[in-house]
Chains A and B, each alone.
Chain A
Amino acid sequence: MAITEKLSQEFELGFTYTRSTGPVVGRFLTGLRDSRVLGIRGSDGRVLVPPPEYDPATAAALSDWVEVGQEGTVVSWCWVSEPRASHPLQQPFAWVMVRLDGADVPMIHCLQASSAEAVSTGGRVRVAWVAEPRGHITDIRCFVPVPGGAS
């Protein structure tokens, strides 16, 4: 007898306990709640956004905070023509690596754009916030192109 039926069950993925995000991740997320983007300076002087707790090269604890700009430059991008149900935007969008002004390392988030033709490496984008930030990376609703920004 061929066994073809697959069993399935609802499952919610998540922490089943409360945990602190700590002094570095927590401060960054609290910054987002206040519509500010905070970075941290690494041992080599580079400003890292989002901030790691420990230096990637020396493993030293980091604490030299730097607020960075909310506009930045696209370092790389890709075009999602068919968003997954889990993706943050449900219309076709771009994932972008953005180096925010004042930061030395890019961060990855989504970019709302009309089409792939509207996105380019070197293009200028800015943060668009959600209406009610709550201290979460998704407080940044997405990036949006800066009107007239070089691209």
Chain B
Amino acid sequence: MREIAVVAFSQSACVADIGAVNEVELIMPQLQAVYAQVGLNSAQDVDFVCSGSCDYLQGAAFAFVAGVDALGAVPPLKESHVEMDAAWALYEAVLKIRTGHADSALLYGFGKSSPGELPAVLSQRLDPYYLAPLWLDTVSLAALQARMLLDSGSITESDMAAVVSRSRQNAQANPLAQLAGDVGVAALLQDDYLLAPLRRGDCAPVSDGAAAMIIATVEQARRWGVPYVRLTGIDQRIESHNPCMRDLTDSVSTRQAAAAAGVHEAALDVAEIYAPFSHQEIILTRALGLDEATVVNPSGGVLAGNLMMASGLARVGEVFQRIVNGDARRGVAHATSGPCLQHNLVAVLEGA
């Protein structure tokens, strides 16, 4: 099977409200950044382009097509889109390369969440007869999940606050983060509930921004002569769309994806986990089987800034950058989609 190399990554800052900047203007700087990292001129220099976004954020069918404008006046010959986080655009591109239909691919994800009421907007992606008519928002769904964990005794509110505290502290070293600072567990626990049992800090902020990545075969990466990281495993699994049909205190699909991606075949130095709510980081850390030897979310994770439809790809990018910089040798990246961790993707990256 053809080996995949990650060769470039860039992410915008997480901004609470980018104002009148449109999606194309969010994407273009990230594309320019990854072209520059590899020495490419444009999207014409890769074989395949795939993007991830959510038309619900813009409130119009096929809104993602406008994003293609960021690629320039000449559209790519092979182009695709997923109505998902761009981590799944990465998955599609990996299949494209492994099956020999491309040697290189450009991926990008973007989300401008500020114009709408994001938790309510996402409620309309639930099933259209039983849940969407109730406008059951994402924060409420996560709160139901957190309550089950608290009731089961497997976590405490202090455990949740500890996740938030570490996120804020790690984010101080991340210039792209939206929320960073030195805030302790006791202070976090004094905050009022936003939606009990969740406090505001337990929930990822709403952010605008974009991310882009270039991958290729290892041979192509060598021809380009740029530092690269091997993507040695990637897998994704999905569970029922009905949260009541699942064990919400676990993430079975993450366990399955981690096993299939070969997460535990060697030690892990770093993990970047897409947990939009603090208690979900605990579920996912357990599902991924991580221990103290692995540094979790050194970027601060998405509790420090959450680019809808790009944060999953950015988790892969964060691990890529840490390995390229020599801070880690092997790491795992996780992406999630859907209510209460319905759909999960796990990728393993290793130094060349």
Contacts and interface: CB of A to CB of B under 8 A. Distances in A.
A46 to B, nearest CB: 9
Given A5-B20, A6-B115, A78 B135 contact: no
B135 A95 contact: no
A13 B137 CA distance: 16
Interface in B117-173: 117, 119-120, 123-124, 129-131, 133-137, 140-141, 143-148, 151
Nearest to B140: A95
Nearest to B239: A56
Contacts, number: 95
A47 interface: no
B147 A76 contact: yes
Contacts of A86: 117, 120, 123, 135
* Band of interface residues on B: 35 or more
Given A29-B129, A107-B244, A109-B134, A4 B19 contact: yes
Contact of A56 (B119, B145, B151, B245): B245
Interface residues of A, number: 37
A78 to B, nearest CB: 3
B164 to A, nearest CB: 18
B29 interface: no
B224 interface: no
Contact of A78 (B131, B140, B240): B140
A87 B195 contact: no
Nearest to A75: B148
B120 A84 contact: yes
B193 interface: yes
Interface in A53-100: 56, 75-81, 84, 86-88, 95, 97
B195 A79 contact: yes
A30 B240 CA distance: 24
Interface of A: 3-6, 11, 13, 21, 25, 29, 48, 50, 52, 56, 75-81, 84, 86-88, 95, 97, 105-110, 116, 121, 136-138
